[in-house]
Amino acid sequence: MKLSEWARQKNGLDCKTAHRLYRRRRFSRLLEQLPTGAILVHELPNKTSEAVLYALDSSSDQRGDLERQPERLRDFAVATAPHVVGEFMEVGSGLNGHYRKAVLKILGNPSFSEIVVERIDRLARFGADHVEAPKASNRELRKIKEQELNIDLVQDMVGVLISFCARLYAQRAVRNRAMRAMEAGRR
């Protein structure tokens, strides 16, 4: 169906508004521009109920919790009745979501209709793009634990402080080790 027809018939939009949205890439549907310039809107496939589970812990010290997280996620998924097609577990920070391979695999695979996480900060602490990306491709992000806003803000602030302190102290530790090595070499 052409973009102009889709805009008028399905959504009550003006053609120019639909073209402006197309140029800004604000559609959750698959669009295709033909060599003639016509823009076709493809209907979204029927939504299957395939879910993927994602578990994350910030350090290897919490490995026990990382092993228990998928069990909790599976129990939640069975209760809400989607078909679980994959499980991803990672150890890493919620602050740097751009470097986590499992998150990028999940977001890059459009066949997953639901992403189940324990809390939103497991997917991304500050990366709103990771939270909004599933919505843009007509997928659902389900969390099994709701947290209050105040608790989230405090935890976010603590996470930022921990990250900065870790970087600062890691630099200091490296510098101290280098100084000790240089002193040992002089002896």
Per-residue pLDDT of 105-124, as tens digits, reads: 887 777 788 888 887 766 66
| Options 4, 28, 49, 58, the catalytic residue | 58
Q: Where are the domains of the chain?
A: 3-42, 50-143, 148-187
pTM, two decimals, is 0.52
Residue 60 is among the residues annotated as catalytic for this protein: no
* Amino acid at position 144, single letter: I
pLDDT on residue 94: 61
State which fold the 50-143 domain adopts. Answer: Rossmann fold (3.40.50)
Q: Give 113-164 pLDDT, tens digit per residue.
A: 888 888 776 666 555 566 666 766 667 778 777 655 556 667 677 777 777 7
